[in-house]
Amino acid sequence: MCVGIPMQVIEAGEFSALCRGSNGTEQVDLALVGPQPAGNWLLVFLGAAREVLTAEDASLIASALEALSAVARGETNIDHLFPDLTGART
């Protein structure tokens, strides 16, 4: 299974960008989304950006991924990690 991770561009390049996500920094291929300025959020699959995200969408995806990790650890109280579904947006 391939899961997209939201990452923020910290150093922009023409064909790739240094991005920061929950697992640290990595060089990301921009072939499918084109050059992106520093500060933009990207949805990254296996080192390649597939979509440009808003900051809000990046936050919602990061929360959903945290919920998956919590469930894998056996936690059941995850409703707060889905503010878009529970009406608890911050």
Q: What is the DSSP string of 5-36?
A: EEEEEEEE-SSEEEEEETTEEEEEE-TTT---
Whether the predicted model's global pTM rises above the 0.85 cut: no
DSSP type of residue 73 = T
Q: What is the pLDDT of residues 35-45, one digit of tens each?
A: 999 999 999 99
Confidence at residue 80, expressed as pLDDT on a 0 to 100 scale: 74
> What is residue 55's predicted lDDT score, i.e. its pLDDT?
97
Calculate the alpha carbon distances from 89 to 3, 4, 44, 57, 83 in Å: 23, 22, 24, 12, 5
What is the per-residue pLDDT for 87? 64
Look-up of token digits 């991005």: 19
Low pLDDT (below 50) residues in the chain: 90
